[in-house]
C-alpha cells in the first residue's frame, strides 16, 4: 500500500494557451489555471504596428474571466528568432536566436512593453482571478530587475516572474529570485541553448529530447533555488506533457506543470498513481544516467513497479 500523498496533490496542472479560442478546451480538460498565455497571436500578422492597449486588454480579459478560481500567467511578447516583428526585432541579425529577442527586444522598445503591462492591469480590474506576468529570455538578475521595475512603473502590482530558457538563468536562479516572484522553465529553448542545437534543425533533433540528463540537471538547479527561496518553479515547456516525465519533474522539485489541454488528463492520471517519494527516486535515477534513452528507461523502471 502506498503511503504519503499522491504527487498530483502537490503540483497544479495548468494549460498552455495561445489565445481566447483555446480557453474552452483548457476548462473542459480540468486545467486549474493557465501557466503560459502566449500573447504573440495579438502581434503576429498585424503589420507594422502593435495592437492598442484596448485591443490587448479585451483579449486578456476574456481569458482571465474563464478562470475565476485559478491563476493565469501571461507572458509578455516573445518576439525574435522564429517570430520576427518588423516594428520590434532587427532584420539583419546573423543569428537571431542569440540576438535581440524576448525581453531584450522589449527593453529596447519600452513603449511596447509598457502598453502590454498596462493592458494586463486593465484586463484584471474587478476580476477575482490571480494574475501573474512573466518575461521570456531572461539571462541574469539585471534582466529580472528591469522587468520587475517595468511592471511597477506600469502600475501592475501582481507577481512578476521570469522564464528559465538560458542555462545561465538556471545556474544563477537564486540571484534571479531576488527580483522575481517565480520561475517558469521553458524546456524547449533551455535544451536549445544548453546543447547548442537549433530547434528548427532536424539534424540535431536528438539534443531536443527533454529526457537529456543535462537538461534534468538544469531543471533541478532551478527548482532547488526556488525551494530555497520559498518561491514557485513551474515547467511550461513540452516536457510537462509527457506523463512519465511529469512525474520526474515533480520529483525534481517542480511546483506546477503547464501543457496543452489535451495532455492534462493523462498527466493527472500518472501523477495520481505515485507518491512524491517515488517520483523523487525516479528523478534521481534518471539524472544518474548518461543519455536520454537511459534516463527514460531508469525512470520507467521505478514508476512501473506496482
Task: Give residue 91's pLDDT.
Answer: 76
Q: Mind listing the pLDDT tens digit of every residue in the chain (306 residues)?
A: 344 457 767 799 999 999 999 999 999 999 999 999 999 988 886 667 888 999 999 999 999 999 988 899 999 999 877 777 777 777 778 888 898 999 999 999 999 999 999 999 999 999 888 999 999 999 999 999 999 999 999 999 999 999 999 999 999 999 999 999 999 999 999 999 999 999 889 999 999 999 999 999 999 999 999 999 999 999 998 899 999 999 999 999 999 999 999 999 999 999 999 999 999 999 999 999 999 999 999 999 999 976
Task: Give residue 93's pLDDT.
Answer: 81
Q: Which of 195, 221, 220 is nearest to 208 (CA)?
A: 195
Note whether 257 and 14 are within 8 A (CB).
yes
Task: State the DSSP code for 80.
Answer: B
CATH class of 7-303: alpha beta
Give burial (CB, 10 Å; 0-12/13-18/19+) of 20.
middle
Task: Give residue 92's pLDDT.
Answer: 79
Domain boundaries, the chain: 7-303
204-238 core/surface letters (b: 16 or more CB in 10 A; e: else): eeebbbbbbbebbebbbbbbebbeebebbbbbbbb
| DSSP-assigned states of every residue in 239-281 | GGG-HHHHHHHHHTT--EEEE-GGGHHHHHHHHHTSBHHHHHH
Tell me how far apart the alpha carbons of residues 46 and 59 are, in angstroms, rounded to a whole number.
15
Task: Give residue 61's pLDDT.
Answer: 94
pLDDT in tens, 78-106: 987 777 777 777 777 888 889 899 999 99
Task: Give residue 1's pLDDT.
Answer: 33
Tell me how far apart the alpha carbons of residues 57 and 106 are, in angstroms, rounded to a whole number.
18
Amino acid at each position: 500500500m502506498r503511503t504519503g500523498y499522491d504527487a498530483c496533490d502537490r503540483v497544479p496542472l495548468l494549460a498552455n494557451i495561445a489565445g481566447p479560442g483555446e480557453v474552452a478546451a483548457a476548462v473542459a480538460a480540468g486545467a486549474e489555471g493557465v501557466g503560459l498565455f502566449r500573447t504573440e497571436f495579438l502581434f503576429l500578422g498585424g503589420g507594422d504596428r502593435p495592437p492598442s492597449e484596448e485591443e490587448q486588454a479585451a483579449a486578456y480579459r476574456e481569458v482571465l474571466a474563464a478562470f475565476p478560481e485559478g491563476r493565469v500567467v501571461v507572458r509578455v511578447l516573445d518576439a525574435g528568432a522564429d517570430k520576427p516583428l518588423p516594428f520590434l526585432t532587427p532584420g539583419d541579425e546573423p543569428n537571431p536566436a542569440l540576438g535581440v529577442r524576448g525581453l531584450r527586444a522589449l527593453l529596447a522598445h519600452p513603449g511596447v512593453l509598457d502598453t502590454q503591462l498596462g493592458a494586463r492591469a486593465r484586463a484584471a480590474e474587478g476580476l477575482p482571478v490571480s494574475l501573474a506576468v512573466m518575461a521570456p529570455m531572461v539571462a541574469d538578475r539585471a534582466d529580472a530587475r528591469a522587468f520587475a521595475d517595468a511592471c511597477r512603473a506600469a502600475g501592475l502590482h501582481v507577481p512578476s516572474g521570469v522564464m528559465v530558457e538560458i542555462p545561465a538563468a538556471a545556474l544563477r536562479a537564486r540571484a534571479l529570485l531576488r527580483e522575481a516572484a517565480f520561475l517558469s522553465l521553458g524546456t524547449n529553448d533551455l535544451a536549445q541553448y544548453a546543447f547548442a542545437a537549433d530547434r528548427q534543425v532536424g539534424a540535431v533533433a536528438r539534443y531536443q529530447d527533454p529526457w537529456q540528463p543535462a537538461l534534468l540537471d538544469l531543471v533541478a538547479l532551478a527548482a532547488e533555488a526556488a525551494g530555497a527561496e520559498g518561491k514557485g518553479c513551474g515547467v511550461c515547456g513540452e516536457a510537462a506533457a509527457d506523463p512519465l516525465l511529469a512525474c520526474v519533474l515533480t520529483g525534481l522539485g517542480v511546483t506546477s506543470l503547464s501543457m496543452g489541454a489535451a495532455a492534462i488528463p493523462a498527466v493527472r492520471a500518472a501523477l495520481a498513481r505515485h507518491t512524491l517519494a517515488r517520483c523523487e527516486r525516479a528523478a534521481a535515477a534518471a539524472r544518474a544516467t548518461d543519455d536520454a534513452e537511459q534516463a527514460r528507461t531508469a525512470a520507467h523502471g521505478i514508476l512501473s513497479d506496482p
